[in-house]
Each structure stands twice: as C-alpha cells, then as structure tokens.
Amino acid sequence: MKLTHHEQTPHPEHPFAEIIRILGKGKKGSRPLTQDEAYHAMKMIMADEVLPVQLGAFLMLMRVKEETPEELAGFVLAARESCHLAGQAAVDLDWSSYAGKRRHLPWFLLSALLLAENGISVFMHGASGHSAERLYTQDMLSYLGLDYAKSVEQVKQQLQQQHFSYLSLEHFCPKLHEIIELRPVLGLRSPVHTLVRLLNPFNAPYSIQGIFHPGYRPVHQQAAELLQQPHAAVLKGEGGETERNPDMDCLVQSVHNGELSDENWPALFPRRHMKPEQLEPQRLSLIWQGETEDEFAQASIIGTAAVALKLLGKVDSQEQAQQLATDYWLSRNRQKFKPA
C-alpha cells in the first residue's frame, strides 16, 4: 500500500541544523554557542559535513551577532586540528596578515624582517583579498627580493635560512581559504576572517595580531586566554594589519601566561601625516637600504617592532623596547632585501 504524502516518513534532521537553530531562533530564543558547540560546528564545516545552504546561513548569522571569545576559541581549536601543523616548524612569533594595506605601504613587513635579522623566527600567514586597491603581503615580498613559501617544507627551509617565512592560508588550510573566498558572493566578511588571525598553526609561544574594529580587540585577547596561548598581543593596526600607526595612540591588549593586560603606547608625532597620493611598493626596499628617507615609515617600522619586542619579553619597558628597535634599525644590513 502506498503511503500518502502526510504519512511518509519525515527526513531525519541534519546534525548541523541544531547549530543554526541556536543562532537563529529570533531575538528571545537565540543565544551564542558555547565553546564546545562552536568547536563541533567548525569540526563539521572543516570535514565538509555541512550543506552549502547551511554554511551560508551559519556564516551570516554569526556575522550579524558577532563572535564571542568562547565561540572564537572553539572555532580556532577545531580549525587547528584540521590543519595538522602544530609543532612541525620551530617558530618564535606568529604574525597574521589578512587585511591588506590601502592608505600606507605595509611597513610592518620591514618590522618583521628586522626581528628576523636579529634571530627571532617569524612566521607570517595571510590571504590575498578581492579589493583591487589593497596591497597584500604575498604580492609585496617580491619588491624585497623574497619568495613566499608554497608548502610547509619550504616554510621550514626559509625559517632556517632567514628566520622569516610567509605562507598563504590556501597552502595549509584550504577549507578556510575556500570560505574566505566566499566574501564576494556573500558581500560580507565572516567569522573565518576573525579566526584565521588567531590560528597560530605552528603553535608559536608568541602571537601578534592586528584588527581594524576596536571592538574585536578584547574579543581576540580573551579568546587567546581561552586557547591558553602563552603570550599574545592584539592592537588596532593601521588598515587592520599588525602595524602601529605612529600618528595615533595605540592600545595593545595582551595575554601573558593567563594574565590579561592593557597598555597604551602614545603617538610618536604631535600632528598626523598626510597619506601618500599613491602607494609605490618599490619604496619598501629603498627605505630599508637607506636610499630614501620617510619619517612616518621609519617611525612605523620601529614602533611596530618595539611592540613585538615588548611582547617577546626582550625588554621590560616601552622606552627600552623603542630603543632596542631603534638600535636594530640603525644597525640593519642595508644590502639585504634588494628586489630580484
């Protein structure tokens, strides 16, 4: 006997439907995910166990409500496990670079290279975006005669040779890169743009992140604490990158062995500089080699390195950090980083 439409066995509910219901059940019925729920949600996403329509709904519900520290920590733990990279390379400082620069050149790149020249191994990871007017780190390295890594093995080689390596997200966590690539389709950034900054794929003891919206600064700080990251610092960086703007006060929110701290780094100039009319990436190597002068660039490079040195415990105070970074800059090998 054939069953009527109303008598047919209903489809069992998809396991991910519960996650969407928690987030989307209206103003009074919805709530944030617990860290455990966020972990399991991201595990399913990374394992391709969700339907495209579910992924889209999840990303946009999260975007509207914004991530809690607990959700971020859960997402990051699941994504890290899927990357399978912890401990595969010896890294001192994890440095995320996902925003791209629009108003100024990426002076933070020279800050990272300054640390690397002085024996601090820096692993930088990021992704190229879809904004034609932005300069992304991967594309800038050639102006300094550097190659970006295309595999984890190459990262290891570069870290041994020059204490610095950059690897794009697509080469170590393609699923997250695939989701980031949805931005032109969805029209908005998603929680993945936030979690990748905290990813620290090689489990470096020190991590530094730049954000654009100040509201995300304490969220990153608290998520780093939940992730038991030994040492981390987050700042509102120039253009959203990990770069101190010397024209403005810079609040750095940190975690050191479970203790949260906030520290304000004062502006280095009394008046703000005009942004350049156009960005010329070749100036990166010219500034490093001392062939041209730029007080904003130099202050940005030294100031960003100083924040990193304080995080790394190389100094005890801002003044010492600024002085050590200045010493590094004045004694740099100017023959390095010439364009190929």
CA distances from 147 to 81, 109, 298 (A): 27, 13, 24
| Model pLDDT, residue 187 | 84
| Model pLDDT, residue 132 | 73
| Model pLDDT, residue 130 | 67
| Model pLDDT, residue 83 | 86
| Model pLDDT, residue 185 | 87
Q: Which residue ranges form the domains of the chain, and what is each CATH number?
A: 15-83 (1.20.970.10), 93-330 (3.40.1030.10)
Per-position pLDDT tens, the chain of length 340 = 455 555 566 788 999 999 999 999 988 889 999 999 999 999 999 999 999 999 999 999 999 999 999 999 999 999 999 988 877 889 999 999 999 999 999 999 999 999 999 999 999 999 987 677 889 999 999 999 999 999 999 999 999 999 999 999 999 999 999 999 898 888 888 889 899 999 999 999 999 999 988 888 999 999 999 999 999 999 999 989 999 999 999 999 999 999 999 999 999 999 999 989 899 999 999 999 999 999 999 999 999 999 999 999 999 999 999 999 999 999 999 998 888 6
| pTM (2 d.p.) | 0.93
| Model pLDDT, residue 60 | 94
| Model pLDDT, residue 9 | 62
